[in-house]
Structure 1
């Protein structure tokens, strides 16, 4: 019996506090019979000395440890086996009596339901109350009958809100079996009432239906709200990327995903087959690389140097000869690897320093330079332009003709164009080194120049900007002179849409490339502007006020 008590204490778990009168009344019902009753103090609200005093007053019952053994002769309780009820439905069971067996009837006594739990506040004789649920009585009686021949342990969970009790049976041979009551079947009247409600519901307007459902939900408990939420949650989710192509709106889905970065695009490909198809058919990796080339100068330089720029910014030919999306998918990590190598070299100093000594009897300084993979072109204060071999660092050619310091230059695969403090602009053959043309317009030093696509812009210390049309190296004509700055114009830059100029008057002016008309003035610097770069509608300027804007 002691082992049974220990089992009871292990299997019992805390529950709601029961009144003393309630416990007393139920014990009075079963007192005349030989019973084995286990009561946990924390389950009955019997804690501390007051709880112990109460237990000691229950009709001379003997208290042993945390259990209570009662009966006609508690010291000679002949009950060989016990039944521990672990049902968690407190509404239909007597939680305080967890181990109960009646050898006279072979069944459990009736329990008082939860609605009358707090009504046991008087000394009236206890009533024998029938349980609310027939399934509960059947379960209890089945467990009691099973108790005659074998030891039964009923397991329950306080987290479950059900009247059913699951019995785990230990058989003589050591095996176990489970007794699970059948689920409640829906009655025919319920089915008819449900069909009638659905019929009326379908006849109402949408607003009436919503109002009716809101009223039903308001009458439910939190537990039911959770079930409704789990039912509605998947219905409220929509995969719009999959839904758009089904409606012939593939371009919208592709446009949405085209704003993703590389990491997010990789994740999008793995969502489902439809997302992968949208990513592949939309050539989204190609669009991502094109976006990076347009907005990042490092990407632009790599595209020109590595040669993969030829696969970008081109429409897909009708014959389908363009590289597939997988080509650009594999190209992206290679570009990232090159960029990381360049950035690592800058950060970690993985570079070698090589000096070119330009000094001679007449050399006094280098004012400007430009380079590529084969050569370096420099403009010197000694009025010359020197061309150096990039690999051997030897001077290959010296161009002479200016009568003042060479302040600015630019070259392409055909010509070198230089501006000098002698107020002239000269054009040279890049291979032969011969002077091809001399442009005379400015009345003071030419401080900066840029040319591209048959057009050249020069600026001067005389506060003017000259726009030239270049039909050929020998056929260059003045188109327009732009006047507006109040100090020397130090730098110019342009594209197909705008010409941007910066001056010592602390302003940046924007002009229309086609019409050469003034557009706007950009203010912000507090001192003269020394340098400027304009690309992709972004202007970056550096000033003597120690700021970059």
Structure 2
């Protein structure tokens, strides 16, 4: 609805009584786009020769619907306008909507269900979520936790919800509960280069530099399968509900049915990294990211990224947040512009992406940078304590691996120490 149409439609507004005005405005606002409501307000003020509060004149349900379009900061400003607006902004459904908008970024809607069963106020809950967002954006870690147990460098770490699995050169895989900070299970074997796990299937997989991959029950520690087939050391593995893909230093990719322990296909991909999705295997082959059919090994498509490892890191993390990968090829081909915005500057090998917020954490010796590229590209040094609880300084230690999840940075050091930076 254009401004002239609004002005014409409202020409007889003064002749209506209070109840008729409410009905009239309700129908008029329904026809407006959100950005046109301000125009409507201004015209009402001009024509009625006073400050006309259109929001207060509307039924409460419609006023709440309008306020839901605002962000948290604007809602707090609105409550200073009048008592009526203050009462509207106290409606719990408004703040619940704001909470869901933040939680949707991380696909953590189950957190809202837990919150709904508690007595916590939705506005207070939103303030906590908003504070996390601001701290994460500004790189200000609020606390740091340490997990001690590994005796040698941490080569890989995978974090899902509150479970962390780490593989180390000390010949162990450890499963940690991040809520308690305790190691729930230690799995022994060989020098582990990479790990992955599936909470739904309750299995954990790890590969060694000695050409083997192991599958355990992550609750009992029972060894379910040992997979052998590579002729060189395994450098990367990836699990799905039925299959596991492993990539060796000779570039070969082998797909197994981990439940049966059967080899499905060997793909001479010249790959350095691999990720499995349903019936598709994604691999980084030089500067090309290729997708292979899981059952026959045929290359489905290939896309070239000049950024190489950086492009791969973004893509596999981006796709992992998608509910479906039916349009895998289209999604990948859309990404170069996003990746190119980061630039071709030096990025540490120890890095990870928060793709939903457009952020990259890159770690060097004891230092972190948070790169924001969804707005004007800028870098922020992450602030965090540089000593553990025993007074040991790890600020100059070499970092082996970095993993990001929901306002947390998991850091595996070459000494075996694991640090968790939290941005609450």
| TM-score interval for Structure 1 and Structure 2 normalised by the shorter chain | 0.3 to 0.5
Q: Which has the larger radius of gyration?
A: 1
Higher strand share: 2
Q: Which one has more relative contact order, counting CA pairs under 8 Å at least 6 apart? A: 2
Q: Tell me the TM-score normalised to structure 2 length.
A: 0.47
